[in-house]
């Protein structure tokens, strides 16, 4: 019995080799010690049934314990070798994962979609036009005089000759009137470009949404009611609006629409509201009845048809809606800002 115990003791010595063994050596050790045919430990275990009960008990207990130790040491080493042989070497697998990145629509895109949806429910189709326009579409067909300051290269981005980046979405009115017969009801979102400073309230690139309705018998009342309905939808059901006379070459009469200041609630904050300068009102769009000259420029009979139109800035509406103080935030691509609107 002491022979067997001594043999087991010497086999136990081999345990120390396991943590250092490479893959090949580990396989050799496993076969040498635990191999089913001639493993040294297997041989001892096989001999157990022939021993007297007392010896069998002691040797068996030690041999089985050793077998478990050898097996678990071999398994641990195998896992270790596997881990270090893959790309995961040196990676802490217990570290928490990074949350998956989820993209979203830009807040201005969301507002544009929301505005177009409101007008779709009021019967308006979405239309688009090119960002590079000729002077004819951007200005002359819209009844701008030849000497209007907007035609100056100081104010607009010219691409060459009479082609420029559109300064507003109004040229889509012309393209639509040239190509479709009334009744027409469209909204046209899109980018516009002006040589403006990049400051808290201006950007040389900005979004506009143009609206146009042309039909028999349309009046200023239609324009006012549609725009008032829009304001109540985009702001709140109790939002009040007012129209102030204005001037645009392509509308007559023309008006700007104000909504109750969304920051002070229309009270002017005891005249201290910075957003509306204490007036309680904020301008959100320009509008008017389509000038007969514009209809005639597009071969639409201005005796038979009348139209209304408006243009507004979605960035401004997003700023009012969410109390955003600076238009540049829309262009900074700062995820911390953008994420708030997902």
Residues within the interface to ligand DAH (CB under 6 A): 168, 170, 210, 248, 251, 286-288, 309-311
Q: Where are the alpha helices (DSSP H) in the chain?
A: 2-14, 23-34, 40-47, 53-85, 107-121, 135-138, 171-179, 220-234, 292-297, 314-322, 335-338
Nearer to ligand DAH by C-beta: 266 or 286? 286
Q: Smallest gap, in angstroms, from Cβ of residue 147 to ligand DAH?
A: 18
Nearer to ligand DAH by C-beta: 288 or 314? 288
* DSSP β-bridge partners for residue 192: 206
Q: Smallest gap, in angstroms, from Cβ of residue 170 to ligand DAH?
A: 4
Residue sitting closest to ligand DAH (CB): 311
Determine if the peptide bond prior to 303 is cis (ω within 30°): no
Is residue 282 within 8 Å of 323, Cβ to Cβ? no
d(CA 177, CA 183): 10
Q: Smallest gap, in angstroms, from Cβ of residue 250 to ligand DAH?
A: 6
Task: Give the residue among 245, 251, 256, 243 at the shortest CA–CA distance from 286.
Answer: 256
d(CA 280, CA 258): 10
Is residue 289 within 8 Å of 223, Cβ to Cβ? yes
Q: Smallest gap, in angstroms, from Cβ of residue 167 to ligand DAH?
A: 7
Nearer to ligand DAH by C-beta: 70 or 212? 212
DSSP 95: S
3-class secondary-structure state, position 282: strand
Nearer to ligand DAH by C-beta: 214 or 320? 214
Per DSSP, the residues of 320-336 read: HHHT---GGGGTS--HH
d(CA 320, CA 208): 15
Nearer to ligand DAH by C-beta: 124 or 266? 124
Q: Smallest gap, in angstroms, from Cβ of residue 113 to ligand DAH?
A: 20
Nearer to ligand DAH by C-beta: 133 or 210? 210
3-class secondary-structure state, position 137: helix
Nearer to ligand DAH by C-beta: 39 or 211? 211
Q: Smallest gap, in angstroms, from Cβ of residue 87 to ligand DAH?
A: 56
Q: Smallest gap, in angstroms, from Cβ of residue 204 to ligand DAH?
A: 14
The residue behind tokens 């904050």 is 269
d(CA 42, CA 242): 98
Is residue 8 within 8 Å of 44, Cβ to Cβ? yes
Q: Smallest gap, in angstroms, from Cβ of residue 307 to ligand DAH?
A: 9
């Amino acid at each position: 019995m002491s022979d067997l115990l001594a043999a087991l003791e010497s086999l136990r010595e081999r345990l120390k080799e396991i943590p250092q063994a490479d893959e090949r050596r580990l396989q050799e050790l496993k076969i040498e010690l635990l191999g089913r045919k001639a493993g040294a430990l297997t041989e001892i275990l096989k001999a157990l049934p022939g021993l007297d009960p007392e010896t069998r008990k002691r040797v068996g207990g030690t041999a089985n314990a050793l077998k478990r130790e050898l097996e678990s040491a071999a398994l641990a080493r195998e896992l270790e070798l596997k881990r270090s042989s893959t790309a995961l070497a040196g990676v802490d697998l217990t570290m928490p994962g990074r949350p998956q990145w989820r993209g979203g629509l830009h807040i201005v895109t969301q507002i544009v979609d929301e505005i177009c949806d409101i007008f779709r429910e009021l019967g308006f189709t979405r239309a688009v036009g090119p960002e590079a326009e000729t002077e004819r579409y951007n200005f002359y067909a819209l009844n701008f005089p030849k000497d209007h300051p907007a035609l100056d290269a100081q104010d607009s981005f010219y691409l060459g000759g009479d082609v420029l980046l559109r300064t507003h979405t109004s040229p889509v009115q012309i393209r639509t009137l040239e190509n479709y017969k009334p009744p027409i009801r469209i909204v046209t979102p899109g980018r516009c470009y002006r040589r403006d400073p990049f400051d808290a309230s201006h950007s040389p690139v900005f979004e506009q949404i143009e609206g146009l309705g042309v039909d028999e018998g349309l009046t200023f009342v239609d324009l006012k009611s549609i725009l008032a309905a829009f304001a109540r939808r985009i702001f709140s059901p109790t939002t009040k609006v007012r129209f102030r006379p204005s001037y645009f070459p392509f509308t007559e009469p023309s008006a700007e629409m104000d909504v109750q200041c969304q920051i002070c609630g229309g009270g002017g904050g005891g005249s201290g509201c910075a957003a509306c300068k204490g007036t309680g009102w904020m301008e959100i769009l320009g509008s008017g009845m389509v000038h007969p000259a514009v209809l005639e420029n597009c071969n639409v009979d201005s005796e038979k048809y009348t139209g209304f139109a408006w243009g507004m800035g979605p960035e401004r509406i997003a700023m009012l809606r969410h109390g955003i103080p600076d238009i540049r935030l829309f262009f900074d691509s700062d995820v911390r800002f953008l994420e708030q609107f997902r």
